[in-house]
Homo-oligomer: A and B are copies of this chain.
Amino acid sequence: MSYSYDYPHPAVTTDIVIFTIRQDQLKVLLIKRARPPFQGEWALPGGFVNLDESLEEGARRELEEETGVSGVYLEQLYTFGRPDRDPRERVITVAYYALIPTDTVEIRAASDAEGVSWFSLRELPELAFDHKEILALAHQRLVAKLDYSTIAFQFMPTSFTLSELQQVYELILGEELDKRYFRKRILSLGLVKETGKEKKAGAHRPAKLYRSIHPDRVDVIK
């Protein structure tokens, strides 16, 4: 079977930068390429877009194939199309990034052996294609969005404490925040509400649990 066109067509893929927080670090999912080009090197998960699916559907399909996760936050990042970015043929990739909540149970990447693994942004290996550039842009976008949106909530489980949320901000920003100001600011947005439950976590006062008012939405704030 072969497909013919009157003029040349590029291939179109989606690549996904999948972020999560594990072990108090911001991590990204990479897969070890099983085939050339760049065989044996680490790369972002991704693949060709089917002709009957939208770009976002393609990205979600790849995301689910690699991690088994669905229904998480996914946003288009940028489209990369340098003519020589893939040695096989002209490949244009529409890059997305996804945020996976911290409690999402055992996603496939748990097993290192399969060639799928979480990497801290501080300890990235060499990456295939222009994936280093894609990852850097995704990270930059994420950091920028912390400032003017509720994107960080997408890393949180259904209910969470304000200290947990603050830790997520601190991890991504790489700096410590003032506890009182952080709490005042988050609560003043009116975008989280108390669940009425508490989280007991050891020999100290239990923390109130909150949940997002719009768990499926990222609000622009400020």
Q: A residues bordering B, Cβ < 8 Å?
A: 1-12, 48-49, 51-55, 76, 78-79, 81-83, 90, 92, 94
Give the 4 A-B residue pairs with the shortest CB-CB distance, closest first. A9-B9, A55-B81, A79-B79, A3-B8
If A2-B6, A3-B5, A55-B79 are given as contacts, then 15 extra A-B residue pairs at C-beta distance below 8 Å, sorted by A number, are: A2-B4, A2-B5, A3-B6, A3-B7, A3-B8, A4-B4, A5-B11, A7-B48, A9-B10, A9-B12, A10-B49, A51-B83, A54-B83, A79-B94, A92-B92
Majority-rule SS of A interface residues: loop
For residue A10, which residues in chain B have a CB less than 8 angstroms away from its CB? 9, 12, 49, 51
Please, which residues of chain B bring their CB within 8 A of the CB of A54?
Answer: 81-83
A9 touches B4 (CB 8 A): no
Question: Roughly how many angstroms separate A208 CA and B53 CA in the complex, as a whole number?
Answer: 56
Within the complex, what minimum Cβ distance (angstroms) separates A158 from chain B? 31
> For residue A58, which residue of chain B has the nearest CB?
B81
Minimum CB–CB distance for A26 against chain B, Å: 22
In the complex the two chains form, what is the Cα distance from A55 to B51 in whole Å? Answer: 20
